[in-house]
């Protein structure tokens, strides 16, 4: 004899729970679906566990106790959301899966955090912040500053041009060359994955604030970066380390830290440029 456990379970549930017609397993007294789908209250399950075998024997017209017990076990598993006899359990979702709540929520959280960071800083700061205004390049200590000045000369930027910007915005020439080496190594066409561009790696919003209309123009880009450095030097009382940190991580972080923030990228940025100052000054002095 073949009996559908689902139909029999629904009938038995109506019998024991007094549910209205059509309220199948998983519906509460108000017809609402309970968490887990086809699951029942512990008291009702206990009652069914004791009553199902006898009820099945009567319903099946004197079926053997073993048959009744087997079917009772299957119906209990069905009602409790367990693995059906002889069938595979429903696959569990992984947190990082397509519909997994954990992975989806984590992704939204990361995107929201990145968006907040963008609004809070004016420059591309660190791996934790990704808040670009000026992009920190991958310069190395002891760069070729003579080669850098040669590149500038070929772009139509003279020693006098750099000196004029230094005086106009109150930024030492060695600092200008040091930041340029770290940001772009003198490449006027370089762009970063986050959108920074040019010699001083200006971001679009920062460039607009600085009055730079064309970031791809080496002279405009250079002046924008020097102007920003001058603003940071003024803001932090002439402290070059703090001004460099602000160029990299944003002035807000420097203010909150009361100095160079405890961010590895920013600390390396300041350390490398500061260590290159002497070489930068020597190259500037030798520039014809």
Mean pLDDT, 10 residues at a time, the chain of 288 residues:
52 47 36 38 50 56 55 56 39 42 58 57 39 43 88 98 98 98 97 95 96 97 98 98 97 97 97 96 96
* pTM for the model: 0.55
pLDDT on residue 262: 96
Domains and CATH numbers, the chain: 5-80 (no CATH), 112-286 (1.10.530.10)
pLDDT at 124: 43
- The pLDDT score that the predictor gives to residue 190 is 96
Distance CA 37, CA 35 (A): 6
d(CA 163, CA 274): 19
Residue among 173, 183, 223, 240 flagged as catalytic: 183
In whole angstroms, give the CA distance from residue 70 to residue 5.
11
Taken in order 121, 127, 132, 135, the sign of the CA dihedral is: positive
Pick from 2, 10, 6, 12: which is nearest to 51 by CA?
A: 12
240 counts as catalytic: no
Q: CB-based contacts of 207: which residues, under 8 Å, 6+ apart?
A: 215, 221, 224
Distance, in Å, from the CA atom of 173 to the CA atom of 150, rounded to the nearest integer, reads 15
Tokens of 4: 């559908």
Q: How many CB atoms lie within 10 A of CB 264?
A: 11
CA angle, 218 then 191 then 205, to 5°:
75
């Amino acid at each position: 004899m073949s009996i559908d456990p689902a139909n029999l379970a629904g009938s038995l549930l109506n019998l024991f729970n007094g549910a209205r017609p059509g309220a199948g397993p998983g519906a509460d007294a108000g017809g609402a679906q309970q968490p887990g789908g086809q699951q029942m209250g512990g008291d009702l399950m206990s009652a069914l566990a004791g009553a199902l075998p006898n009820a099945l024997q009567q319903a099946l017209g004197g079926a053997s106790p073993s048959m009744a017990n087997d079917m009772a076990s299957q119906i209990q598993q069905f009602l409790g959301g367990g693995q059906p006899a002889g069938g595979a359990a429903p696959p569990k979702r992984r947190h990082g899966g397509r519909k997994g709540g954990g992975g989806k929520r984590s992704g939204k959280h990361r995107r929201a955090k990145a968006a907040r960071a963008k609004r809070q800083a004016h420059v591309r700061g660190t791996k934790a912040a990704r808040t670009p205004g000026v992009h920190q390049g991958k310069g190395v200590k002891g760069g070729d500053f003579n080669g850098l000045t040669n590149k500038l000369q070929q772009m139509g930027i003279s020693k006098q041009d750099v000196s004029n910007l230094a005086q106009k915005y109150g930024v030492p020439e060695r600092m200008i060359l040091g930041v340029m080496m770290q940001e772009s190594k003198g490449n006027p066409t370089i762009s970063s994955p986050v959108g920074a561009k040019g010699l001083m790696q200006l971001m679009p919003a920062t460039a607009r604030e600085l009055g730079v209309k064309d970031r791809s123009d080496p002279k405009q880009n250079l002046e924008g970066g020097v102007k920003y450095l001058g603003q940071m030097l003024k803001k932090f009382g002439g402290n070059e380390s703090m001004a460099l940190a602000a160029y990299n991580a944003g002035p807000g972080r420097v203010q909150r830290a009361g100095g160079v923030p405890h961010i590895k990228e920013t600390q390396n940025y300041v350390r490398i440029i500061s260590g290159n100052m002497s070489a930068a000054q020597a190259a500037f002095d030798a520039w014809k």
